[in-house]
A = this chain, B = another copy of it.
Amino acid sequence: MVIILKPQYEERQLNHLLKWLEGYKLKTALVKGEQSTILGLIGDTSKVDIETVKAIDIVESVKRIQEPFKAANRKFHPDDTVIDVSGQKIGGKNFTMMAGPCSVESREQICEIAASVKSAGAGVLRGGAFKPRTSPYAFQGLRAEGIELMLEAKKATGLPIVSEIMNINDLKLFDDVDIIQVGARNMQNFEMLKELGCTNKPILLKRGLASTMEELLMSAEYILSGGNKNVMLCERGIRTFETYTRNTLDLSAIPLLKEHSHLPVLVDPSHATGISRLVKPMSMAAAAAGADGLIIEVHNDPAAALCDGAQSLTPEAFSDLARSVNALLPGLGKKTII
């Protein structure tokens, strides 16, 4: 930690500060100049609250040197974390395709999609039972029944399943769900993260719409520090001024998160852009940038009768996408999925 002192300060004030810091058993070094004075702190500064230091009268600014996350930090865990999800390995040299409908609608729908995406190369079935909706008047998902239908599709196909939790009190409903998704809007629902940290369920943690990569890693730290080591990160677009896309997919997060952390990094191109035509090029870009997997919305098109082809990805389009991504994998040092 580096503390920059204001140009004018009294020795008395500095001594107060130094005395207070003594409690933290840090090595300190003072560099005085005419315009400013630098106080360097070396050692384990993780307990020193940066906001308290900033609030000290003679302090102009503070710069943390060490990253504030530990359990998620690659420095202390150089090897890639590989998570075993019911036999399906996620991370390392593996590339995992998660696919399925935005919302579970019926047994027929979910089982049909499950079979279809499995044959196209998907390793995990996704499906929404609890749906976070901006409007209270919008369909909120089939909820408990949706989880039941997901479990039937799991039984039918053998695919592990991932679904989003929105209320920690629903945790028991997720007993047989293989991966629990924490959505972007709950990335900083710290009370829920703490409770998930006490389970050993694999967690798919999505980046918040306005969250920095560091905040994403700190939210992962909440889960990891609780004892649950099975966390995978998911980039799904951040909020910017651009209006052609719903969000701006930040693919630079892939190499950066993997540099700072050992956790697997997946990408959700469907929610990021909100445009089905972009799912394939963004999936290929994500793979090329080093992602450990993708989570893709696939729809078996019940709307067809009505509208001759909805814009979401059909099973055929998903199959084409999977083949194209698969062709990239060997060149990227990843195992193929088909």
Please list the residues of chain A having a beta carbon within 8 angstroms of any beta carbon in chain B. Answer: 2, 4, 10, 12-13, 16-17, 20, 27, 29, 31-36, 38, 40, 42-43, 46-47, 49, 52, 54-58, 60-61, 63, 65-66, 68, 132-140, 166-169, 185-186, 188-192, 194, 208-210, 212-215, 218, 221-222, 225-226, 238-245, 248-252, 254-256, 259, 272-273, 275, 277-278, 281-282, 284-290, 303, 305-312, 324, 327-328, 331
* Chain B, residue nearest A220 (CB): B136
The oligomer's copy count stands at 4
User: With A189-B189, A306-B16 known to touch, is A282 a contact of B289 (CB < 8 Å)?
Assistant: yes
Let me know if A210 and B241 touch, CB within 8 A.
Answer: yes
Contacts of A167 in B (CB 8 A): 168, 191-192
Which residues of chain B have C-beta atoms less than 8 A from A275's C-beta?
Answer: 256
Instruction: Name A27's contact: one of B33, B65, B68, B169 (CB within 8 Å).
Output: B33
Identify which of B32, B239, B281, B285 contacts A210 (C-beta below 8 A): B239
> B13, A38: Cβ atoms under 8 Å?
no
The reply to whether B54 and A311 form a contact with Cβ atoms under 8 Å apart is yes
Nearest-CB residue, chain B, relative to A10: B308
Beyond A134-B218, A281-B289, whether A248 also contacts B244 by CB under 8 A is no
Q: Which of B55, B166, B208 contacts A311 (CB 8 A)?
A: B55
- Contact residue among B61, B213, B221, B324 (Cβ-Cβ distance under 8 Å from A242): B213
Q: Which residue of B lies closest to A241 (CB)?
A: B239
By a CB distance below 8 angstroms, the chain B residues around A218 are 134-136
Q: Are B42 and A33 in contact (CB under 8 A)?
A: yes
Q: Determine how close the nearest CB of chain B comes to the CB of A322; give it in whole angstroms.
A: 14
Chain B residues closer than 8 Å to A132, beta-carbon distance: 188, 190
CB pair A225–B136 under 8 Å, yes or no, is yes
What's the minimum C-beta distance from A83 to chain B, rounded to whole angstroms? 20
Give, as a whole number of angstroms, the nearest-CB distance from A216 to chain B.
Answer: 10
Residue of B nearest to A133 (CB): B190
Give Cα A328–Cα B289 distance, bound, in whole angstroms. Answer: 12
B57 and A308 contact, CB distance less than 8 A = yes
Contacts of A282 in B (CB 8 A): 251-252, 255, 289
Query: Lowest 10 CB-CB distances: which A-B pairs, in order?
Result: A210-B210, A33-B42, A29-B31, A288-B288, A31-B40, A285-B289, A167-B191, A285-B285, A56-B307, A284-B288
- Which chain B positions have C-beta within 8 A of A241? 210, 212, 238-241
Bound: A324/B289 CA distance, A: 12
Residues of B within 8 A of A66 (CB): 35-36
Q: Are A272 and B252 in contact (CB under 8 A)?
A: yes
- B49 lies within 8 A of A43 (CB): no
Which residues of the partner chain B approach A32 to less than 8 Å between Cβ atoms?
Answer: 42
Instruction: Chain B residues near A42: list those with CB within 8 A.
Output: 31-36, 38
Contact between chains at B252 and A307 (CB < 8 Å)? no
- 28 pairs, A vs B, C-beta closer than 8 Å: A27-B33, A29-B29, A35-B65, A36-B66, A55-B307, A55-B311, A56-B310, A68-B137, A136-B226, A137-B225, A167-B168, A167-B192, A185-B189, A210-B210, A210-B239, A213-B244, A241-B241, A245-B252, A245-B256, A251-B251, A251-B282, A255-B282, A256-B275, A256-B278, A282-B289, A285-B285, A285-B288, A288-B288
CA distance A20 to B52 in the complex (A): 37
